Amino acid sequence: MRASSTASSAALLSLALLAGRAGAAQITAIVIDQDGLPLADAVVVAVPVQGAPTAPPPAAREIVDQIDEEFVPRVKPVVVGTPVFFPNKDNIRHQVYSFSAAKRFELPLYAGTPAKPVVFDKPGVVVLGCNIHDWMIGYVYVSESPYFAKTGADGKALLGDLPALAYRVRVWHPRLQGQESATQQTADLGSNGRAELSWKLALKHEMRIRRAPVPGMRGHY
């Protein structure tokens, strides 16, 4: 009886340790550009090497705002299946759309927040635009893995609470030159539960449609 109790306690302790370890692993990502400067808005995605990621339910509500005729945030990473609302916080109307293969949609001209979100049900990059304000551009990165993070102004991103597994880790950025798959690295968190990865990305110039006024071409379109 006593031996049985001890064994049960040991098993519970092992499970607790495993559970704790599963949530403690993390990847620290550092992304810089070709000039060595920290790169913000890079999406770092970790995909388990073996087996499909055990995705938690998508977030109930993600948001991409429109503020001062720009998308905020400009890059929004979400896991596949996530509904995203597009609140318009300007005092004018917007018409958000995308032609991207991962999600084609069009929100008819609106003010405020549309009643229904857009559900991003396929992985990939979704480029956002506004049909009224051509210079507006934003990105929804739809990840097949729930393990992702976006770099801040310091070029760093922390992927925390990961199961202690081996991962293929890649990076995407709106100005990434070349294929996203070419950025792939591996990280095995099974040993000490931590890994630090870094990338130096070659960026292409992003030509945005001009917003500033030009003589003789006032008004929209």
Partner 1 sequence: MGVSTATEAGTTLVLLSLGAALAGAPSEAMPEDIFDAEAGVFHDSNLSNAVSADDIVADTALTLAASGGYRFAPGDRDAFALTGDLRAAGFSRFHGMNSVALGGTASWSRKFGLGAFAPWARLSASLAGERYDESVRDGRRASVALRAGERLSERLQLSGGGSFERYRADNATGVVPGISGDAFSLLGRSLFARADYAFDDRWAGFAGVLARRGDVTASTRLNLQIFQYSSAIALDPAFGPDYIAYRISGATSWDFVAGGSLALGDSWSANLAVTRALTYAANNIEYQSTRINASVIYSF
Site map for partner 1, 94-123, x if CB under 8 A?
-x-x-x------x-xx-x------------
Residue 131 or 185 having the CB closest to partner 1: 131
Residue 218 engages partner 1 in binding (rule: CB under 8 A): yes
Q: What are phi and psi of 15, to 5 degrees?
A: -60, -40
Least distance in angstroms from the C-beta of 57 to partner 1: 32
Residue 153 or 212 having the CB closest to partner 1: 212
Range 195-214, binding partner 1 (CB under 8 A): 205, 207-214
Residue 129 engages partner 1 in binding (rule: CB under 8 A): yes
Binding piece for partner 1, criterion CB under 8 A, among 91-99, 140-148, 150-158, 195-203: 91-99
Residue 35 engages partner 1 in binding (rule: CB under 8 A): no
